């Protein structure tokens, strides 16, 4: 069994820490999923996505933020596991809502088992999140455990609000402004991929209110930058059949899938600003066409114009801006050896992610 004795400050660098943290989170997450019937229709499905890999950086942020402010891996572990369970719940539901084809290098759960079973597996995964968070009371006491639970619920609500905006634009055939996109990405990804786990870890470590707010701003910046970079990789990747892991791996999703799904990414918004009226009308037509009717040629047309128009470059600059915001926040926080790992994490998630 993987020990909780390891520490960010004793790791040789980010790769070693992420590997150890990922192994520990995986072990604890599988222990939280019941080993009983109905396996074929529920619990085996819940183990599927976690068994495929994943970077687990959200749970790593919980552990790192806790250690920064004096907490321990052992005390932060349950909350870190809860964030990883929430991530896998969100992926199952997101794949259903987008009708995605590939997740972590393999066919999506709902395409393998059907929407009803996949949906129920995701719902059960969400219920486990709260079971795991409730276990905090044994180590952290009732007051802090309740505070973490309350905070997590706020993170989840923001995430669902952002998701509603994202898929609502598709349902209602709307194309958002940059300001509307910014509101969506802050809610959907800024919270659960960065601000939430960072603030959760800081609360466990006993950080002051001002530091909790500042590390939340750091987390929000890397969450937003990570998502924008992910959108870039969706058009550039050639490793859709290779699952991501703690330190590298592949992209694990279908190339151009965002276009086929009609997603209103920042790349699409930037592209509309750069196309002629005829080209913009064609792009509009492609994005409104159901994915099963989109041709490979249409997808490649969008990718080509995203590259040649400068839309992709504009989003890469956007990522770099959020990396700078994150780094500025780190410099304003109390000095600690964890800061160096956090700096590496900014580069790893927001800038360097070339697979």
The confidence score (pLDDT) of residue 251 equals 53
Average pLDDT of span 44-72: 95
Going by C-alpha positions, the residue among 189, 217, 167 that lies closest to residue 65 is: 217
**DSSP secondary-structure letter at 334?**
P
Per-residue pLDDT tens digits for 188-221: 999 999 999 999 999 999 999 999 999 999 999 9
Predicted TM-score (pTM) of this structure: 0.92
Q: What pLDDT is recorded for position 4? A: 76
The pLDDT value given to residue 23:
93
Segment 60-65 mean pLDDT: 97
Reported as a single tens digit per residue, the pLDDT across 276-332 is 999 999 999 999 998 888 899 999 999 999 999 999 999 999 999 999 999 999 999
Angle between helices 209-236 and 338-346 (to 10 degrees): 30
Tell me the C-alpha distance between 308 and 299, whole Å.
15
Contacts for 118 with CB less than 8 Å, ≥ 6 apart: 45, 92, 95, 96, 108, 109, 110, 112
pLDDT band at 7 (very low <50, low <70, confident <90, very high): confident
Largest CA-CA distance found in the chain, in angstroms, rounded: 63
Tell me what the pLDDT averaged over the chain comes to.
Answer: 92
Cα–Cα distances in Å, from 254 out to 80, 143, 226, 243, 314?
Answer: 28, 44, 18, 11, 23
Asked if the model's pLDDT at residue 8 lies above 90, the reply is: no
Q: Do residues 101 and 234 touch, judged by C-beta distance below 8 A?
A: no
Which CATH superfamily is 10-351 part of? Farnesyl Diphosphate Synthase (1.10.600.10)
Distance, in Å, from the CA atom of 241 to the CA atom of 236, rounded to the nearest integer, reads: 14
| 272 or 292, higher pLDDT | 272
> Half-sphere exposure of 261 toward its Cβ, with a 13 Å CA cutoff?
25
107 bridge partner residues:
102
Cα dist. 67→206, 253, 352 in Å?
Answer: 10, 33, 25
pLDDT of residue 239: 53
pLDDT for 252 beyond 70? no
Average pLDDT over residues 158-186: 96
Percent of the chain past pLDDT 70, that is, above it, reads 94
Q: What is the pLDDT of residues 92-134, one digit of tens each?
A: 999 999 888 999 889 999 999 999 999 999 999 999 999 999 9
Digit-coded pLDDT (tens) for 224-251: 999 999 999 989 876 555 555 655 544 5
Nearest-CA neighbor of 60 among 159, 197, 191, 186?
A: 197
Output the pLDDT for position 254: 78
Per-domain residue ranges of the chain = 10-351
Instruction: Give me the pLDDT at residue 243, please.
Output: 52
CA distance 188 to 191: 6
Q: How many CB atoms lie within 10 A of CB 209?
A: 9
The predicted structure's pLDDT at residue 172: 94
| CA 84 to each of CA 21, 39, 79, 224, 347: distance values in angstroms, whole numbers, following the listed order | 12, 21, 9, 18, 21
Nearest to 352 by CA among 26, 14, 120: 14
pLDDT at 355: 33
């Amino acid at each position: 069994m993987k020990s909780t004795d390891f520490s960010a400050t004793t790791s040789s660098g980010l790769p070693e820490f992420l590997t150890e943290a990922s192994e520990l989170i995986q072990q604890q997450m599988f222990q939280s999923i019941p080993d009983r019937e109905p396996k074929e229709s529920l619990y085996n499905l819940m183990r599927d996505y976690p068994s495929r890999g994943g970077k687990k950086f959200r749970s790593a942020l919980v552990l790192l933020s806790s250690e920064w402010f004096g907490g321990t891996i052992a005390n932060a572990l349950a909350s870190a596991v809860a964030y990883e369970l929430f991530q896998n719940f969100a992926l199952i539901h997101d794949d259903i809502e987008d009708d995605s084809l590939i997740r972590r290098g393999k066919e999506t759960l709902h395409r393998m088992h059907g929407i009803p079973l996949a949906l129920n597996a995701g719902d059960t995964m969400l219920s486990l999140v709260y079971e795991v968070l409730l276990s905090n009371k044994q180590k952290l006491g009732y007051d802090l455990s309740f505070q973490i639970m309350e905070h997590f619920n706020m993170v989840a609500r923001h995430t669902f609000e952002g998701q509603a905006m994202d898929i609502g634009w598709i349902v209602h055939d709307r194309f958002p402004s940059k300001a509307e996109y910014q509101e969506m990405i802050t809610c959907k990804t800024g919270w659960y991929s960065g601000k939430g786990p960072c603030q959760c870890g800081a609360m466990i470590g006993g950080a002051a209110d001002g530091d909790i707010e500042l590390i939340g701003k750091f987390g929000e910046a890397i969450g937003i930058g990570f998502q924008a970079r992910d959108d870039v990789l969706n058009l550039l990747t050639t490793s859709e059949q290779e699952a991501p892991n703690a330190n590298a791996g592949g992209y694990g999703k279908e190339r151009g899938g965002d276009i086929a799904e009609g997603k209103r990414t920042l790349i699409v918004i930037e592209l509309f600003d750069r196309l002629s009226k005829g080209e913009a009308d064609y792009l509009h037509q492609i994005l409104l066409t159901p994915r099963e009717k989109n041709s490979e040629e249409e997808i490649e047309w969008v990718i080509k114009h995203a590259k040649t128009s400068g839309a992709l470059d504009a989003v890469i600059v956007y990522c770099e801006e959020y990396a700078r915001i994150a780094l500025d926040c780190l410099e304003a926080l109390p000095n600690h050896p964890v800061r160096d790992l956090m700096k590496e994490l900014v580069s790893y998630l927001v800038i360097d992610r070339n697979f």
